[in-house]
C-alpha cells in the first residue's frame, strides 16, 4: 500500500539549534516528492520538489534531500519564524488514478 | 495578483443543510483539487478536475459534489449525506495535468457543523 510517514509528529527546538525532519515513503515508481510549509489556519505553501535519489535543494535555512526510501528536511540555525507544520507528499498511481499522498506533518516550534 | 481564492474563510452548517465552498484561481491552471484536512491526518483527496466539464472522485468523495463549468472555478458542495463534515477544506490547482509538478493551495475554509 502506498504510504507516507513523517516523523517526529512534533519537534521543539531552541533558536539556532539545527535538526532534521523525516519523510519515509513506500510508493511504486516515485515521480516526485514535495515539501510544503503550513501555518496555523492557512493553506500549505510550496517549498521544494525532489525527483530522484541524491537530489538536494536549498532555500534559506532549509535543505531538502532525497534517498530511495526517505526524504529529510534539514533546518539549520532555525529562527522562531520557522515555526510551522511541515508537510511531505509523494506522487503515486494508486486506486486507479494519479494522486498526491500526504503525510500527517511535523509540527515544528522554535523558541527564542 | 495571481492566486487561488477560497471563500468563505469560516462556514457554519446546520444539520441537514447543503453548503457550497468557493474556489477561484486566476493562474490559468488546468487541474484543480479539493482536499480535506483533519487534525493528526494527512490531506485527503475529495475530488479533482483536469479539464472543464470533467471531474473524478478521490478517496473520500461520498457526501460531496463538485462542478467545473469554468476553468477558473471549482466549487465544492458538502451535502447532508456527509455525516462528519467538520474539517478544514483546501482547494489546490496546478499547471498541466502531470503529477510531477507542484500544486498551489488556497487559504482554506473551515467548516463547522452547529
Tell me the per-residue pLDDT of B27-57, one tens digit each, with 9 for 90 and over.
999 999 999 999 888 899 999 998 999 999 9
Written as nine digits, the cell of A91 is 506522487
Q: How far is B114 from chain A (nearest CA, A)?
A: 20
Tell me the CA distances in angstroms from A88 to A47, A51, A80, A83, B99, one per residue in order. Answer: 10, 13, 21, 16, 15
Cα–Cα distances in angstroms (integers) from residue A110 to residues A17, A106, B96, in the given order: 9, 13, 37
- Chain B environment of A1 (Cβ under 8 Å): none
- B113: distance to nearest CA of chain A, Å? 18
Residue to test with chain A: of B27, B88, B100, most A Cβ within 10 A: B100
**Looking at the complex, does the CB of residue B110 fall below 8 Å from at least one CB of chain A?**
yes
Q: Which residues of B touch A43 (CB under 8 A)?
A: 4, 6, 90, 92, 105-108
Residuewise pLDDT in 10s, chain A (112 residues): 788 999 999 999 999 999 999 999 998 777 889 999 999 999 999 999 999 999 999 999 999 999 989 999 999 999 999 999 999 999 877 666 677 889 999 999 999 9
Q: Is the separation of the CB atoms in A60 and A41 below 8 Å?
A: no
Which residues are registered as beta bridge partners of B70?
A: B73
Mutate to test the interface with B, among A33, A88, A100, A104 (most CBs of B within 10 A): A100
Give the C-alpha separation, B4 to B25, whole Å: 4
* Binary contact (B45, A100; C-beta < 8 A): yes
CA B68 to chain centre: 11
Q: What is the pLDDT of residue A95?
A: 67
Which regions in chain B score pLDDT beneath 50? none
Task: Assess B114–A contact: CB distance below 8 Å, yes or no.
Answer: no
Whether the CB-CB separation of A86 and A78 falls below 8 Å is answered with: no
Residue A1: the pLDDT is: 77
Decide if B105 and A43 are in contact by the 8 Å CB cutoff.
yes
Cβ-based contacts of B107 with chain A (< 8 Å)? 42-43
Indicate the residue of B44, B45, B106 with minimum beta-carbon distance to A43.
Answer: B106
**Which residues neighbour A96 within 8 Å (Cβ) at sequence distance 6 or greater?**
none
Phi, psi of A50 (to 5 degrees): -125, 140
Provide the chain A residues 42-71 that lie in CB contact (below 8 A) with chain B.
42-46, 49, 51
Amino acid at each position: 500500500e502506498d504510504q507516507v510517514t513523517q516523523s517526529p509528529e512534533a519537534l521543539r527546538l531552541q533558536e539556532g539549534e539545527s535538526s532534521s525532519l523525516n519523510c519515509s515513503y513506500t510508493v511504486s515508481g516515485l515521480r516526485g516528492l514535495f515539501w510544503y510549509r503550513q501555518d496555523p489556519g492557512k493553506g500549505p505553501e510550496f517549498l521544494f520538489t525532489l525527483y530522484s535519489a541524491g537530489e538536494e535543494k536549498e532555500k534559506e535555512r532549509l535543505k531538502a534531500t532525497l534517498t530511495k526510501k526517505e526524504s529529510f528536511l534539514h533546518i539549520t540555525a532555525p529562527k522562531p519564524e520557522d515555526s510551522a507544520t511541515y508537510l511531505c507528499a509523494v506522487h503515486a498511481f494508486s486506486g486507479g488514478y494519479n494522486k498526491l499522498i500526504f503525510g500527517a506533518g511535523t509540527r515544528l516550534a522554535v523558541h527564542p | 495578483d495571481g492566486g487561488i481564492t477560497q471563500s468563505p474563510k469560516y462556514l457554519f452548517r446546520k444539520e441537514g443543510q447543503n453548503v457550497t465552498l468557493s474556489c477561484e484561481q486566476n493562474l490559468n491552471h488546468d487541474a484543480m483539487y479539493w482536499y480535506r484536512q483533519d487534525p493528526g491526518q494527512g490531506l485527503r483527496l475529495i475530488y479533482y478536475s483536469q479539464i472543464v466539464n470533467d471531474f473524478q472522485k478521490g478517496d473520500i468523495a461520498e457526501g460531496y459534489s463538485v462542478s467545473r463549468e469554468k476553468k477558473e472555478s471549482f466549487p465544492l458542495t458538502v451535502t447532508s449525506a456527509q455525516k462528519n463534515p467538520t474539517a478544514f477544506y483546501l482547494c489546490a490547482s496546478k499547471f498541466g495535468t502531470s503529477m510531477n509538478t507542484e500544486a498551489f493551495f488556497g487559504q482554506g475554509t473551515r467548516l463547522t457543523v452547529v
